[in-house]
Structure 1
Amino acid sequence: MANSKVYLEIVKQLREMIAADGLMQGDKIPSERELSERLNVGRSSVREALRALELLGLIETRRGEGTFIRDFHGHQLVQLLSTFILQDEKAKSDVYETKYLLEMDCLRLAVKKMDDAMIYSMEKWLSETAQFHDDDFFCQIVQGAENHLFSRIWGILKDYYNALIANPVHYDRKDYFLLFKALAEKNEQKTLSAYCKLRNLSID
């Protein structure tokens, strides 16, 4: 079974387990180890599924205490999950689209907020790093946007995105440099155009 299907199946099983156990807002859910044993899956897969639920605002992790179901203000947890996390192409498409839109917003902020020192640091990193993952590059962009909420959402969302992709896309290194060059020039339009070129997205 592909990793993405395993991942989504775990989320589905978690949803069913929460319903079967009658867990309510404020209740603590089993630990990663317990869930791994109960669902008979690896702990890393359980961790990714929990991160997806955290992204949706349905659970929260309290340091030293565990993971709890959040106050979801009257929404039915099971119903909300069942309408969002589905094993179909629409759910995947929504994740991809959301990630791309968030990255573009981070680029808009980075154009305005990244100072010369941050630009120099990123240029040095690009020049000296022989190989880097797409996530590594955009982690720099998200940090440059200086928006803590965007950073937190993107961090969880990119993990969810990676879990859904059966065959990771390999981008051309030169396109990252073109994107960085436009960013360094503080040209928002060129930056967004370079991003769309990198992601092979149409430009309206």
Structure 2
Amino acid sequence: MTNTKVYLEIVKQLREMITIDGLKTGDKIPSERELSERLNFGRSSVREALRALELLGLIETRRGEGTYIRDFRGHQLVQLLSTFILQDQKAKRDVFETKSFIEMDCLRLALQKTNNEATNSLSDWIERTEHFSDDEFFQRIIDLSDNHLFQRLWSILKEYYQSLEETHPLYSREDYLELLKGLTEKNLEKTLSAYKKLRNLSNLTDKY
């Protein structure tokens, strides 16, 4: 089982456990050790899933007390988790859209923080790498943005997207180079235009 599938299986079983145990907002969930034994997964995998859920704001850890279900202003945890587990079209759209906005914000940051040496290095990598994935390319863009929180959010959404979408579009090398050209020229409009072309996102608002 891949790391992504392990991660999603733990989240799925946590959702089922919360339903079976009748847990609600403010209730304490079992410890990492107890969850590992109950769900039959290694503690490191359980720890990673809990960290992701905490980052998403679904649970909170109180030092010396344990981990609790957070207050969601009337929404139940089970309903929120379902949006990331149910493999329906809305879940796919939501994950893809959110992932895209994070990528565009990272492009904005990269444009502000990076220099020509960094973008030229990335261009060289594209030219000399025969096969590379879209995730590999944007991992490098996010590295250039130098924002740890965006990095973590993007990694989580990327994994969800991969699990929800059976097939992924293929992109051309020229599309990536065009995007990098906008970054090198410090041209935000050209950069975002190239990104929208890459992702076929002509329907996004002008703000982005």
| Contact residue 84 and residue 91 of structure 1 kept, 8 A | yes
Partner of 1:15: 15
Question: Shift of the alpha carbon at 1:181?
Answer: 1.2
Question: Shift of the alpha carbon at 1:117?
Answer: 2.8
Partner of 1:95: 95
- 1:28 correspondence with 2:31: yes
Residue-by-residue CA offset, 1:146-196 (whole Å, 9 max, x unaligned) = 111111111111111111110122111211111111111111000001001
Partner of 1:72: 70
* Structure 2 alignment gaps of length 5 or more: none
**Count of residues in correspondence between the two structures:** 192
Q: Distance in 2 between matches of 1:148 and 1:7?
A: 20
* Structure 1 alignment gaps of length 5 or more: 38-44, 62-67
Alignment TM-score, normalising by the size of structure 1:
0.74
Identical amino acids, percent of aligned pairs: 57
Question: Shift of the alpha carbon at 1:124?
Answer: 2.5
Any residues of structure 2 matched to 1:2-151 within 5 Å, and which? 11-21=11-21, 24-25=27-28, 27-29=30-32, 30=34, 35-36=39-40, 53-59=53-59, 69-70=67-68, 72-73=70-71, 76-82=76-82, 85-151=85-151
| Contact residue 115 and residue 184 of structure 2 kept, 8 A | no
The change in CA–CA distance for 1:135 and 1:33 in structure 2 (over 3 A counts) is: farther
Query: AA paired with 2:173?
Result: R
Tell me how large the CA RMSD over aligned residues is. 3.6
The change in CA–CA distance for 1:70 and 1:111 in structure 2 (over 3 A counts) is: farther
Instruction: Return the structure number with greater relative CO, CA threshold 8 A, min gap 6.
Output: 1
Question: Shift of the alpha carbon at 1:51?
Answer: 7.3
| Contact residue 142 and residue 151 of structure 2 kept, 8 A | yes
Alignment TM-score, normalising by the size of structure 2:
0.73
| Contact residue 58 and residue 69 of structure 1 kept, 8 A | no
